[in-house]
Amino acid sequence: MDVLGSGHEQVVFCSDPESGLRAIIAIHSTALGPALGGTRFYPYASEAAALADVLALARGMTYKNSLAGLDLGGGKAVIIGDPRTDKTEPLLRAYGRFVEALGGRYLTACDVGTYNADLDVVARETRFAHGRSEAYGGCGDSSVLTAYGVFQGMRAAAQHCWGSPSLAGRTVAVAGVGKVGSWLVGHLVEDGADVVVTDVDPAAVERLQARHPGVRAVADTAALVRTAHDVYAPCALGGALDRETVAVLPARIVCGGANNQLATPEVARQLIERGILYAPDYLVNAGGVIQVEDERHGFSFERAQAKASGIFDVALRVFQEADRAGIAPAEAADRLAEERVRSVGRLATIRLPR
């Protein structure tokens, strides 16, 4: 992979053989501010696979933070390994020292395989770890507002498609009921939606159905995408929307919490051809970064939730701009994000007195 031609400002490979740390930190842009993005702990098949993932995720964070109206750039980190067996205090603290060495260019937080308690450990070595536990003055579980933002985006999509910002009476298929998916299901059930789910972890489904007995479950994603539904919500790992999946998808709307849902750029056009409205992932799942960013100012859940509610209005604007310009919503969202990076980011060239 041509890292130098990827458009990223900085890519750092981190290694500490004694603790077993193998990590990559990618900073895509600091035009709007320090690069904020979570740390993913995942057993990648190879370093090349980890690099490809972190580069895509970091770029997505630039767009996410811009469209959310935050004064933050985009970055991401991945730790290569199985979090169930490889995660230790020395490894997390070694990682924290690499984050600290970047001097604040990169701000880290939780992602797949990392939790608030892990960031508490990382923070023992760096000032730039956020999304910490409430016991340490942090914002707690950022998946709470991630799911809330996805729900707001889904409400906006319903408004655009059906003239009402409600999922009542609609069937929503949720793929992945982990941290974000389980909270999203709660909002959907409360709104009156019929919900069908799947997850690779049967225990996650069991926990969800214990809280929401009316939720149905199917064996796997292949079965889920063929189940009759109005809205498809990918809430697991990226690449969920490939040509084969979209070809059989019965949904009118796709809106979920996973990052990088489009397996290839061409899938955006395929969704339009099939009459499926796609709510861009980095737009609707920005509630988590809004929650984490608020921690930097002395966390207020109410303030962060109020800001995350704005995802509804931004999503409507994206859908309307896509219709007006005759382009995919993903392209419309990209344009809005890029324009803010250009127009606000250029202000850094105006020198201020010291």
User: What is the biggest distance separating any 2 CA atoms in the chain, rounded to whole angstroms?
Assistant: 62
Radius of gyration over every alpha carbon of the chain, rounded to an integer in angstroms = 19
Q: Are 126 and 94 in contact (CB under 8 A)?
A: no
Q: Are 205 and 198 in contact (CB under 8 A)?
A: yes
Q: What are phi and psi of 320, to 5 degrees?
A: -70, -40
* Burial label, 17 (beta-carbon count in 10 A; 0-12, 13-18, 19+): exposed
Which SS3 state, helix, strand or coil, does residue 183 take? helix
Q: Are 170 and 154 in contact (CB under 8 A)?
A: no
User: What distance in Å separates the CA atoms of residue 283 and residue 66, rounded to the nearest whole number?
Assistant: 9
Both tokens of residue 267?
Answer: 């899938």
Residue with tokens 């630039």: 62
Beta-carbon count within 10 A of 249 CB: 20
CA angle 290, 43, 239 (to 5 degrees): 60
Which member of 64, 76, 179, 307 is catalytic? 76
User: What distance in Å separates the CA atoms of residue 60 and residue 28, rounded to the nearest whole number?
Assistant: 9
Q: Are 73 and 31 in contact (CB under 8 A)?
A: yes
Q: How far is CA 331 from the centre of its chain?
A: 18
DSSP-assigned states of every residue in 187-228 = HHHHHT-EEEEE-S-HHHHHHHHHH-TT-EE-SSHHHHTTS-
179 catalytic? Reply is no
- Catalytic (active-site) positions: 76
